[in-house]
Amino acid sequence: MADDDADDGVERAGGIEVRPMSGHTGAEIGGVELAKPLDDAAAAAIRSALLRWKVVFFRGQHLDHDGHLAVARRFGEPIALPRRGGYSPAEHPEIETTADRLELGGRFGMDRAEWLDRRRHTLLRGWHCDHGARIDPPAATILRAETVPPYGGDTCWSNLAAAYAGLSEPLRHFVDGLRAEHRQGVGYEPRPGEDAYVRHLLEHQTASHHPLVRVHPESGERLLFVNGYYVQRILGLTQAESAPLLELLVEQAVRPEYTVRFRWRPGDVAFWDNRATVHLAPSDTGRLDHPRIMHRVMLAGEVPVGVDGTPSEPVTGTEAGRW
């Protein structure tokens, strides 16, 4: 059977090679140079692999900012961000440099340890989709590695379609009709006295009511729309009912069989469907002296729709399309 290509799971289409990395999630794409214009067949094959595997990886591409944006524009509309930190390139408002994340605590008067400590109220807190409290969370994120540590700093993704499908039928039926409040700053423990971050949260409140099960606008798949970061509570349930059910659903969403873990090398690119996945930013680099510099471009998304066809509703600070 060694000669039979069908058995290694690798698929070839549009001149590219798609190599699955786990049973449900992640595929490495070969045979493509992202710095060159993508022809229609290759772009269609990449989109199809993204829909199937939820996150796709391209090794050793070494894109510059313009090249990164050109790839993003091939698959959607890059979001220009009104607020970024000092490390992001001033001339490219669509690119956010992750070294900014390290600045974040400092902006609100905290060192990194305190910043993380005040924001971690559950064990699965780090798992999130990007900007999930918005009424229209980004459709996708394209992240490229410039400098990575020699070890540590991996990123994990989990497949929310597989997680939904893995629930028992009665529980799927139960959660199909529920909605949840997603809010920025959930679980943050304020500092005593004046707290600059609380002031920031109040001035930039973002909250939406999203379906607990979202229908993917392209594939039609049902997605378990939960994470450990933004979800405040399930609507219509008491807190005593909501908290343990949310815990169960988030645990389900990130079970190891639905995840993939990526070991970054400089020049690598990860492209994920931000509707169909949650991801875990690495937290094992805090005591390493090695820099980790990544650049991120997000693609504009749409208002989520539930199983019954009802769209999400804005609560505050979440006018669709406005950042």
**Closest separation in Å from C-beta 83 to Fe ion:** 16
CB hemisphere CA count around 169 (13 angstroms): 0
**Closest separation in Å from C-beta 3 to Fe ion:** 41
CB neighbour list of residue 276: distance below 8 Å, 6 or more residues apart: 51, 54, 159, 160, 161, 216, 219, 221, 223
- The reply on whether position 96 binds Fe ion by CB under 5 A is no
**Closest separation in Å from C-beta 37 to Fe ion:** 28
Residue number with the shortest CB distance to Fe ion?
130
The verdict on whether 295 is a catalytic residue reads no
The verdict on whether 279 is a catalytic residue reads yes
Marked catalytic residue, from 47, 130, 183, 275: 130
Instruction: Calculate ∠ Cα 182-158-261, nearest 5°.
Output: 130
What is the number of residues in the chain?
323
Q: Which stretch binds Fe ion (CB under 5 A): 129-137, 143-151, 175-183, 198-206?
A: 129-137
**Closest separation in Å from C-beta 76 to Fe ion:** 17
Question: Cα-Cα-Cα-Cα dihedral of 298, 300, 303, 309, to 10°?
Answer: -100
Separation CA 269–CA 318 (nearest Å) = 29
Task: Select 171 or 323, whichever has its Cβ closest to Fe ion.
Answer: 323
**Strand 55-58 relative to strand 27-30: parallel, antiparallel, unpaired?**
parallel
Task: Select 96 or 130, whichever has its Cβ closest to Fe ion.
Answer: 130
Task: Select 14 or 138, whichever has its Cβ closest to Fe ion.
Answer: 138
Task: Select 130 or 221, whichever has its Cβ closest to Fe ion.
Answer: 130
The verdict on whether 40 is a catalytic residue reads no
**Closest separation in Å from C-beta 127 to Fe ion:** 10
The verdict on whether 24 is a catalytic residue reads no
HEC string for 55-66: EEEECCCCCCHH
**The two three-digit tokens of residue 90, written as one number:** 């001033």
Backbone φ, ψ for residue 301 (5° rounding): -115, -175
- The reply on whether position 130 binds Fe ion by CB under 5 A is yes
Instruction: Count residues near Fe ion (CB under 5 A).
Output: 1
As annotated, the active-site residues are 128, 130, 279, 296
**Which residues in this chain contact Fe ion in the complex, by CB under 5 A?**
130
